[in-house]
Amino acid sequence: MTGSNKGIGYAIVRGLCKQFKGDVVLTARNEDLGKKAVQSLNEEGLSPKFHQLDITDQASIGRFGDFIKNTYGGIDVLVNNAGIAYKNDSTAPFGEQAEVTIKTNYFGTLAISNALFPLLRPHARVVNVSSMSSSFAIRKCSPEIQAKFMNPNITEEELTHLLNDFIQAAKNGDHEKKGYPNSAYGMSKVGVTVLSQIQHRQLSADPREDIILNACCPGYVDTDMSSHKGPKTIDEGADTPIYLALLPEGVKTPAGDFVAGRKAHKWNEYQYTP
């Protein structure tokens, strides 16, 4: 579980501790915050393990990968939940917001996936926590840009190139002229949703049996990220990610889907209803 010292990630750990037959590792980039989170789950009678993990730090990713390999030899469930969002009233330049947000939400998710996918066991489940913001953002792209992101054969290199192009345009101040929307977070989550489809294709072709990856939207949730404006509790937000993390062996769907409210949706057409 990435980014699980608070918010939806914390609630996913809580739910998995109750339902998953095996160790659940709560990770946090800040060790003190992570250990405090473990302590508060201990007070509920739950016993997650802890390991430090910053998904933007290659050394931290390496240490976490070694810990998993040496302690468990493999991994049954990976939930890529860690993410950031600038506040709407942030005064940081838009180019900086684009670069920093995509560095964590897209490049961080890609980096931890690349490190841990070799450790996935047969029947493993991977859940990428994306957002309805990816649906809003893709619809605001020009038809030309939409077509590039929606190409069913898009490669990881092409996706990375497109997101870097968005960052460069955001820095130059001409991203809207080039057909991109004015949302750094939205574009970072377009990255996560499209990356999930690419990763699904890769894992479907993998010789290891029955590994399923889905992207999801947790809904609009009462967390620090939403400035506590979301109506859902963190446990309600954790429901779909936990459902996907625990998909039973041999299920055929959802797989490679964008899932919200436990249902698969066409991500570019998805309309969020609370």
Q: Is 248 left (phi over 0), alpha (psi -120 to 50) or beta?
A: beta
Please select the residue that binds ligand NAP; options are 143, 224, 252, 273, rule is CB under 6 A: 224
Please select the residue that binds ligand NAP; options are 26, 127, 190, 217, rule is CB under 6 A: 217
> Would you say 166 or 258 has its CB closer to ligand NAP?
258
Q: What is the dihedral of CA 106, 108, 109, 112, to 10 degrees?
A: 160
Give the CB-nearest residue to ligand NAP.
7
DSSP string, 57-122: -HHHHHHHHHHHHHHTSSEEEEEE-------TT--S-HHHHHHHHHIIIIIIHHHHHHHHGGGEEE
Least Cβ distance, residue 130 to ligand NAP (angstroms): 7
Catalytic residue among 10, 106, 180, 185: 185
140 binds ligand NAP (CB under 6 A): no
Structure tokens at 98: 């684009």
83 binds ligand NAP (CB under 6 A): yes
Least Cβ distance, residue 58 to ligand NAP (angstroms): 12
**Dist CA 178 CA 236 (whole Å):** 38
Please select the residue that binds ligand NAP; options are 146, 164, 226, 268, rule is CB under 6 A: 226
Least Cβ distance, residue 239 to ligand NAP (angstroms): 13
25 binds ligand NAP (CB under 6 A): no
Options 4-12, 158-166, 199-207, 244-252: segment touching ligand NAP (CB under 6 A) = 4-12
The three-state secondary structure class of 29 is coil
The three-state secondary structure class of 166 is helix
183 binds ligand NAP (CB under 6 A): no
195, 128 Cβ separation under 8 angstroms: yes
The three-state secondary structure class of 151 is coil
84 binds ligand NAP (CB under 6 A): yes
**Dist CA 227 CA 130 (whole Å):** 18
104 binds ligand NAP (CB under 6 A): yes
Q: The sheet that has 120-129: what strands, in order across it?
A: 75-80, 120-129, 212-217, 258-260, 263-265
Could you confirm whether 106 is annotated as catalytic? no
> Would you say 26 or 209 has its CB closer to ligand NAP?
26
Size of the site for ligand NAP (CB under 6 A): 32
5 binds ligand NAP (CB under 6 A): yes
Interface with ligand NAP by CB under 6 A: which residues?
2-3, 5-9, 28-30, 33, 53-56, 81-84, 104, 108, 129, 131, 217-218, 220-221, 223-226, 230
